[in-house]
Chain A
Amino acid sequence: MGRPSPPAAKGGPEIPTTTLRVPRPELLRRGTLLLRLSRTFHALTGAFALALLALFLGIVATLTKASWSSILLNGPGFLGRDTWDPVHGVYGALPFIAGTLVTSAIGLVLAVPLALGVAVFLSELAPTRVRFALTTTVDLLAAIPSVVYGFWALAVLVPLMAGSVEPGIQHLTGAVGPFSGHAGGLDVFTAGVVLAIMILPTISAVSREALSAVGRQQREAAMSLGATRWEATRLAVLGPAMSGIVGAILLGLGRALGETIAVTLVVGNNNQVPSSLFSPGQTISSWIANDLNSAVAQGPAIYGALIELGLVLLLLTVAVNVVARLLIWRIRRGEAGGSPLRRRRPHRGLAAGSTGVGTAVVPGAHPEWRRAALARLPQRVRRRHGTFLLVGGLCLLATVLAVVPLASILYTAVGYGGPAVVRPTFYTETQPAACNPGPVTPNCPIGGVGPQIEGTIILLGLAALIAVPVGILIGIYLAEYGRHRLGPGVSFVTDVMTGIPSILLGTFVLVVFLEYVPSVANSGIAGGVALSILMLPLIVRTTEEALKTVPVAVRESALALGFPRHRVTLRVAIGTARNAIVTGVLLAAARAGGETAALLLTTGGFQYWPLGLTHPIGALPLVIFESGLSGYANWETDAWGATLLLLGIMLIISLSTRLLLRRAPSNE
């Protein structure tokens, strides 16, 4: 209500001819003020965008600095040595690098065909009626926290592997070479299977995006030539989408390389180069998760060597993510030149024909073969339809297989955790003393996870307090100001940062706190900061995307009314994109709420009521990680309860945001 209203003309004949005239000097002053405000806002958002770049470089620099002593001490041989022996001061990274690469490779080999089948099915072949429901279901897999996958794998997958899958494979292969050894379930193969389940939704979602970026007209053009749905996909869609699909696979690889908690739980934790698929191993991330906290106390040599391991992982994942993002960006920006030109052979015959017009180069009388081809067509079409049904069936099978873990996880969590979460005391009490291994009896109470629920809320609140405003400001910069200079770089770094394994974010925060404020290195503050770094790139990205969907016409019409630039952004653009931004924040919070690896290193783990931000603090995912392995019946029941609780919250957030976003376009 900043402007004076024109004098009311009540039915009278005197209609004022001049309604409003602001004196020129005042207008000028106000304009200058607004201009200054606008510039300040621009500068503010730009500063935060620069800070994001600095954060990324800071992560690399910090890990490099903290591992410098180890780099000097262990030399380049660090990467090739196969022994990790702190007692004799021998540090070699090979067991962990080998474990990481082997588990990731198994994960990729298993996940890629399935994920591509799922993507093709959901984007091209499935009947439109079931597409949304199936897509939503598959995408839910991405919302399940890593610790839940790990705990489920420990309870369901490992016995299955040890009991039938691995002996079965050994039976088929004769248990030689990579299939030799004692198949105990806790090994690199199981870890690879878990990784496959976990990266499948990533690969299939990004591939699907690449597939659907190909225009509908391409598919219809192929179908108009008489292609079946599958042939149209092969001919018109897969080629242009190929770089995006490769990007999706690399993105999946990046996730597999850095995945920590689920792998830690099932990989067997044996610091040796795995001698077969069925031997226990250790990955870089699982070893950091296992050992970093105690290494801090054990002295600088082992600490430095562990950080150097982290640096290796960082460089590896950043490199993979950079390539992946470059490939995906081309698709998103509509520069889909696609895969290199398909050349079967040079067409010399035709090239020669170009010099002289005439009939010399036409071999045979083509109307005849065309007639012959058409005569054979019905039979051929039946066969091609058979191919379509076969491919469609395989893709459907892949989709069903992809959904099986989701069903199993829900079933298991409800079965074991259901009795815990229905008790009101589960939300208010602390965990009781551990009972001896055995069934839960009246003398052995279940207790609850009240402190950890409170801890998670506190940690998330702190993380959101930092990440939401900063993330939105950076997102604004990227969408509104950053199209020319700094923008694309920051935007790219944001994407790459989403690919940095969370265990390394935790390591980074721990190293920084140990260096500058060691007294709170294991505290609520450290945990909150770690989670905020995890959330930040996600919020930046969704804010940028949301703002970019606001039509230029809306902005320009506001500018034409004399709105200053920053007000257009804050009022008009944010107002229009509000729903999408809120959704992004919720999804980021969901991701952080299930995060375990980073908190494992930074919060100190605590099973009593929080004492404050500067003290160690508990969190729901940590209960699962710590109590799930305890072997005590009452603690494990708590862990299952926490699993079910976490799972429920994640699935509700994921489902509701999805439905919210689906409804959004029809409102406009």
Chain B
Amino acid sequence: MSSPVPTGKLAVRGLNAWYGKRQVLYDIDLDIPEGKVTAIIGPSGCGKSTFLRCLNRLHEETPGGRVDGSITLDGAEIRTQNEVLVRCRVGMVFQRPSPFPNLSIYENVAAGLRLLGIRQHDQLDAGVLDSLRRAGLWDEVKGDVDAPSTSLSGGQQQRLCIARALAVGPEVLLLDEPCSALDPIATTKIEHLLHELKESYTVVIVTHNLAQATRVADHTAFFYLGKLVEFDTTDTIFHHAKEKLTENYVTGLFG
């Protein structure tokens, strides 16, 4: 398990979270290694998504959401920082593709840049182009960046959301079951993308799909009933789990 001294890009210590009176996370300690893909697995309702939403302080925006404990990003506590600054460094992509429907592809990606105060067209263009390339969408939109974002397919919309998140230059990228609404081909594209992204970003992905975790993740954390049961390299979790519960879950005995 994690050491008392924070070692990862993101270090979580004693994290508890509530929805109203219901506690959904209990004393989570976790170090998320830099430049790697970390997968969070576990049965429905085990607090995976809540955990992810704590990492960019989105949980506290939910009605009734409350957090207690410490999360540090590069050693600095994020819970005392301005949340806008935190979210510029920790981006997030959601379960269902959620491009802004009334904006074009270009404006979707440029939205974050405009928030940063970037106004010059050449800079915006460069940022949009770069993000679309990184998200593997550039070749598919073929320069028609003024098309409505809703004209894209589901998988393309999801990659647009990734591009949108990348545009503001985050260091960490959080993905909440990004493929659960997509077909297998779109899923494969996103998984390939994750492999490329981890060279420049720290990636945390929540997934229901165990096979996906083995394909994309370097490390895997297994959550159960709001507690972190085990965290290790993906290979260890799936083949030499120390906890019986983990083994039962990854071998499909429950969940």
Contact = CB atoms under 8 A, between A and B. Distances in A.
A374 B32 CA distance: 23
A665 to B, nearest CB: 14
B98 A337 contact: no
B143 A380 contact: no
Given A224-B92, A240-B101, A338-B102, A350 B168 contact: no
Nearest to B95: A217
Interface in A195-241: 215, 217-218, 220-229, 231, 235-236, 239-240
A546 B87 CA distance: 41
Contacts of A220: 58, 61, 92, 94, 98
A242 B100 CA distance: 13
Given A215-B98, A350-B128, A378 B82 contact: yes
Interface in B42-64: 56, 58, 61, 63-64
B103 A223 contact: no
A349 B128 CA distance: 11
Indicate the member of B88, B116, B128 with the most A CB atoms within 10 Å. B116
Indicate the member of B61, B125, B128, B139 with the most A CB atoms within 10 Å. B125
Contact of B98 (A218, A235, A342, A378): A218
Given A337-B101, A378-B82, A349 B58 contact: no
Contacts of B143: 350-355
Contacts of A353: 129, 143
A373 B125 contact: no
Contacts of B96: 217
B91 interface: yes
A394 B141 CA distance: 41
A380 B117 contact: yes
B150 A337 contact: yes
Interface stretch (A264-272, A359-367, A617-625): A359-367
A493 to B, nearest CB: 30
Interface residues of B, number: 53
Contacts of A339: 102
B29 interface: no
Given A224-B87, A228-B84, A347 B126 contact: no
Contacts of B139: 357
B128 A226 contact: no
Given A342-B103, A350-B143, A364-B126, A225 B98 contact: no
Contacts of B164: 221, 225
A221 B94 contact: yes
Nearest to A346: B146
A384 B107 CA distance: 20
Nearest to B130: A366
B138 to A, nearest CB: 8
A341 interface: yes
B144 A351 contact: yes
A339 B101 CA distance: 9
Given A342-B107, A373-B118, A222 B129 contact: no
Nearest to A239: B102
A385 B82 contact: yes
Contacts of A369: 118, 123
Contacts of A342: 102-104, 107
Interface string A406-442: 0000000000000000000000000000000000000
A239 B100 contact: yes
A226 B85 contact: yes
Contacts of B102: 239-240, 242, 337-342
Given A239-B102, A342-B102, A378-B85, A350 B118 contact: no
Contact of A221 (B61, B98, B117): B98
Contact of B165 (A224, A337, A361, A377): A224
Contact of B145 (A222, A338, A351, A381): A351
A128 B63 contact: yes
A340 B146 CA distance: 12
A403 B102 CA distance: 33
B127 interface: yes
Nearest to A381: B84
Given A217-B94, A350-B106, A364-B122, A226 B100 contact: no
B22 interface: no
13 contacts: A217-B98, A218-B98, A218-B101, A235-B100, A239-B101, A240-B100, A343-B146, A347-B146, A350-B125, A351-B143, A362-B129, A362-B130, A380-B117
Interface of A: 128, 215, 217-218, 220-229, 231, 235-236, 239-240, 242, 336-347, 349-355, 357, 361-364, 366, 369-370, 373-374, 376-378, 380-381, 384-385
